[in-house]
Amino acid sequence: MNITLAFDVYGTLIDTQGITSSLEKYAGPQAAEFARLWREKQLEYSFRRGLMQNYVSFDICTSHALAFASSALKIPLQQSDKDSLMYQYKVLPAFADVKNGLAKAKQAGFRLFAFSNGRANDVEALLNHAGISDYFIDVVSVDEMKSYKPNPGVYSHFLRRSAATCSEAWLVSGNPFDVIGAVSSGMRAAWVKRSPETIFDPWGIAPTLTVNNLAGIAEQISRAGTAA
């Protein structure tokens, strides 16, 4: 059986808090709070768009979230400032463990895909900038479905696009909502719990596997697959 891994991008491979250093120019000591609120609203807006069936692309959700964070924290931004920050969001860094983890997963014979709320061209640019694009067979974007995670339809779309079945496919994500969505849709899922303070939603739907980083993901998924 060829195991297929669907790697979430934002918050799993790519560090969304990496925008903090760029925000310091505008927000000073509030930069970390600005970054957190920006990300929180970005996700909230995608959830709401999905429920409303009023789709706009993820970069527009991101732009609207930036405007909200600016207003909420009373940090005025010129349009040129917003344009600069939106560009910086497209060149965010990967987490330090990512290259090693992806290399081991590929060496183990797994089929690797990037699976994201972001548009394919934005995701490809991120992966290229981070130097990790060559590890992936393809990028699967929810933009192709005009909806967002955790809509069960987007997980089915991933399975179709990757030519995998639920029994062969794992989602790998640092986002609890994504893990719950995948498990609820019949996939297995590894939750990347990067911070000991992060709380998994108490819904009674647990990740198949919990890891602290991606360094040993291949070995741990192999063991879990054998046990299953």
Full set of structural domains in the chain with CATH: 4-14+93-227 (3.40.50.1000), 16-89 (1.10.150.240)
Active-site pick, 8, 97, 122, 178: 8
Q: What is the mean pLDDT of residues 76-99?
A: 96
Q: Which among 108, 107, 119, 184 has a CA at the least distance from the CA of 146? A: 119
Is residue 156 over pLDDT 90? yes
The model's confidence at residue 224, banded by pLDDT at 50, 70 and 90, is: confident
164 three-class SS: coil
pLDDT value for 68: 98
pLDDT value for 121: 96
pLDDT value for 1: 56
- Confirm if 105 and 5 have CB atoms less than 8 A apart: yes
* H or E stretch covering 113: strand 111-116
- 188: phi then psi, degrees, rounded to nearest 5: -95, 160
Is 8 an annotated catalytic residue?
yes
Q: What is the mean pLDDT of residues 103-121?
A: 97
CA angle 200, 5, 221 (to 5 degrees): 70
Is residue 226 over pLDDT 80? no
Q: What is the mean pLDDT of residues 187-214?
A: 96
Q: What is the mean pLDDT of residues 80-109?
A: 96
Q: CA 2 from chain center: how many Å?
A: 23
Q: How far is it, in rounded angstroms, from Cα 210 to Cα 228?
A: 16
Beta bridge partners of 7: 114, 172
